[in-house]
Amino acid sequence: MTLTPYSPEIERQMQEMYVRLSEKDKRLYAGVEALKLPYGGVSYIAELFGCSRNTVMRGIIELRGQEIIPRKRDRMAGGGRKQTVGIKDKGDIDEVFLLILKEHTAGNPMDEKVKWTNLTKANIAELLVKEGLKVSRNIIVKLLKKHGYVKRKPLKKKAGGGHVDRNAQFERIAELRKLYKSEGNPVISVDTKKKELIGNLSRNGKIYTTETIEVYDHDFTSLAEGVAVPHTIYDIAQNKAYVTIGTSRDTSEFACDSIRQWWSNHGKFIYLTATSILMLMDGGGSNSSRHYIFKQDLQALADELGIDIRVAHYPPHTSKWNPIEHRVFPHITRAMQGMVLTSHELTKELIETATTKAGLSVVACILNKVYLTKRKVAAGFKESMRILFDSVLGRWNYVATPKNAH
């Protein structure tokens, strides 16, 4: 069903009206609203109100005077079939529902409110059954609406693309995450957030001030005093983010330095028995899946840390599915919105305030190091490297093994 004639706010108001009515008035109200709509209106109203299509059709029949149901036939409050949601012996269905969606969610790194899932109602029902919860389609619709998921048609404004191996790689990533979690090894989501200019420059957003803050009338790079490059590592199990604020450029060497700092200062103390690190990342930028300069720096990092480092790249045009994109970046964006970033120290302080009710915490540090661009891979590296590519989808899945690996 793709009919969506009303905005989420109007839908919410309609639902509030519906639940206040008697059984008969609910039928009539559903019928009135369905008659306003073109083909597909009955199904849309049934799904919106969480009732059956037969109920809506019954309301339409009554409105047309074809059948009159006496008011004394209305059920008493609390009558009818009991809902599954909220029954104690079913456990916390909301918690299970959100846990299922958590593994199948993508989002907008600039807006924490924009999230989406690739699961259908049937998929969700099957996954709930595996968790011991058998619920109807209407209950799933109510759960989706309760947690802000409304069926919408995407607005065709942005260019993009796809890849024939997209689903296969998503399945591989899911397998790896499950394997590493069961073995107690770290799973980290890695990416560099959009760089920020340091200086008296305007930024998006508003803040409370006692006086107007005056900044330059243009945001030219030449007016900036520096740049902040926030390379971020998100520990999925711990729900903690570690941000290395570079003052130079976003290169593969910088990305590996950031990973080194996380492991040396945090990771190895949290995962004392770890035998491997799984890194989820997109396929471009400083950690490009196509460039061997990243693999060369990754090999050097594995040698230094003495631990296997496995990389799983998201396919082209799917970086928004990387957990860091919707679990960390929107909150960092929110923490800095409207603020004039006059120094790297202020940027660090703001980033570390990006906490959430779900328990996200962020630690940041500043790395003052100059990184060179256009570096070349060392002669003979491809022949001597200890990077093992998977037999299937090897271009996106590989492991860097240290020198002393057994």
What is the per-residue pLDDT for 263? 97
Distance between CA atoms of residues 168 and 299, nearest Å: 26
What is the per-residue pLDDT for 89? 42
Distance between CA atoms of residues 102 and 97, nearest Å: 9
Would you mind telling me the total number of residues written for the chain in this entry?
406
Task: Give the 3-state secondary structure percentages of the chain, helix then strand then coil, rounded to 5.
Answer: 40, 15, 45
Question: Is residue 245 within a helix (H) or strand (E), and if so which, with residue range?
Answer: strand 240-246
342 and 198 Cβ atoms separated by less than 8 Å: yes
- Residue 221: closest CA among 245, 196, 251: 196
Distance between CA atoms of residues 305 and 264, nearest Å: 8
- Residue 43: closest CA among 27, 55, 28: 55
Question: Is residue 349 within a helix (H) or strand (E), and if so which, with residue range?
Answer: helix 344-351
Kindly write down the DSSP assignment for every residue of 7-48, as one continuous string.
-HHHHHHHHHHHHTS-HHHHHHHHHHHHHTS-TTHHHHHHHH
Please list, in sequence order, all residues whose beta carbon lies within 8 angstroms of the beta carbon of residue 61, skipping any fewer than 6 positions away: 31, 67
What is the per-residue pLDDT for 1? 45
Question: Is residue 336 within a helix (H) or strand (E), and if so which, with residue range?
Answer: helix 329-336
What is the per-residue pLDDT for 387? 95
Measured distance between the N- and C-terminal CA atoms of the chain, rounded to whole angstroms: 56
What is the per-residue pLDDT for 193? 95
**pLDDT truncated to tens, each residue of the chain (406 aa)?**
456 788 888 888 888 888 888 888 999 999 999 999 888 889 889 888 988 889 999 999 888 876 555 555 555 555 555 554 443 444 578 888 888 877 767 666 665 666 667 677 888 888 888 888 888 888 888 888 888 777 665 544 453 556 788 899 999 999 999 999 999 999 999 999 999 999 988 888 877 665 677 888 787 888 889 999 999 999 999 999 999 999 999 999 999 999 999 999 999 999 999 999 999 999 999 999 999 999 999 999 999 999 999 999 999 988 889 999 999 999 999 999 888 899 999 999 999 999 988 899 999 999 999 999 999 999 999 999 999 999 999 999 999 999 876 5
Q: What is the CATH number of domain 166-369+381-400?
A: 3.30.420.10
165 and 315 Cβ atoms separated by less than 8 Å: yes
Distance between CA atoms of residues 351 and 121, nearest Å: 37
E strand map for 59-150: 105-108, 111-117
What is the per-residue pLDDT for 74? 57
Tokens, residue 67: 């059948």
Conformational region of residue 375, where left means phi above 0, alpha means psi within -120 to 50, and beta covers everything else: beta
Domain ranges of the chain: 8-73, 88-146, 166-369+381-400
Question: Is residue 176 within a helix (H) or strand (E), and if so which, with residue range?
Answer: helix 166-183
What is the per-residue pLDDT for 87? 39
Label each residue of 272-306 as H, E or C.
CCCCEEEEEECCCHHHCCCCHHHHHHHHHHHHHHC
Distance between CA atoms of residues 387 and 308, nearest Å: 10
Cα–Cα separations (whole angstroms), residue 59 to 31, 81, 215:
5, 19, 61
Beta bridge partners of residue 400, listed in sequence order: 309, 387
Question: Is residue 381 within a helix (H) or strand (E), and if so which, with residue range?
Answer: helix 381-384
63 and 32 Cβ atoms separated by less than 8 Å: yes
162 and 152 Cβ atoms separated by less than 8 Å: no
What is the per-residue pLDDT for 98? 82
Beta bridge partners of residue 387, listed in sequence order: 400
Distance between CA atoms of residues 88 and 80, nearest Å: 19
